[in-house]
Chain A
Amino acid sequence: EAGVAQSPRYKIIEKRQSVAFWCNPISGHATLYWYQQILGQGPKLLIQFQNNGVVDDSQLPKDRFSAERLKGVDSTLKIQPAKLEDSAVYLCASSLDGSFYGYTFGSGTRLTVV
């Protein structure tokens, strides 16, 4: 079974620029999550999708972050404009039915904002 694919692996941008991350979940997984992991901290949930609908985006900074999951498969997370404090690893995870033991994380995109 292929894992959760994320790209790019690394990205360096200047503050106030925009950036987009892409995630391809495990085939058939209905639930998709984006987490932000700042260096030395645990992952923090940004947004949860069930198919192509948003279930929880209460911790997403909506003034600069946006996410979509078209057709209930791939997802993109965008930051516009980026701030220095957005430097982090952005992890995508998917789950077949929302159960935590079915969670599979991708390797993440490491974003550095300079």
Chain B
Amino acid sequence: QKEVEQDPGPLSVPEGAIVSLNCTYSNSAFQYFMWYRQYSRKGPELLMYTYSSGNKEDGRFTAQVDKSSKYISLFIRDSQPSDSATYLCAMSVANNAGNMLTFGGGTRLMVKP
């Protein structure tokens, strides 16, 4: 069993739709939970991160963490064609030189005009 599971998609939605992306994890030691966006032929870029269970909002994006269920979500409101990308969840455990990230497999999102 992988430590972090993520539905690969692809997920296709019309412009303006609400998008829900999800990950489950098995390692209780994970401390921080992140969402990265990766455009084609680019490296991942950090969108949002959370530490505790609950919601965190940033513009059209809301990250949700439920540690009791080991489940995290990213919601995108009023989705735009520019949101079309692969979304990667990631989780971190601290080592003696910072944080080591474990990524999910990514969900490919396509927002159609």
Contact = CB atoms under 8 A, between A and B. Distances in A.
Nearest to B41: A107
Nearest to B39: A107
A45 B97 CA distance: 14
A104 to B, nearest CB: 8
Interface of A: 4, 31, 40-45, 48, 50, 55-56, 91, 93, 95, 97-101, 103-108, 110
11 contacts: A41-B105, A42-B105, A43-B101, A44-B103, A45-B102, A55-B96, A100-B46, A101-B46, A105-B45, A107-B43, A108-B43
B100 interface: yes
Nearest to A51: B97
Interface string B42-58: 11111001000000000
Contacts of B88: 42-43
Given A40-B105, A41-B106, A97 B98 contact: yes
B82 interface: no
Contacts of B73: none
Main secondary structure of the interface of B (DSSP, over half): strand
Contacts of B100: 45, 48, 56
A42 B6 contact: yes
B103 A98 contact: no
B44 A100 contact: no
B45 A42 contact: no
Interface string B89-107: 0101001111111111110
B61 interface: no
A107 B96 CA distance: 27
B30 to A, nearest CB: 11
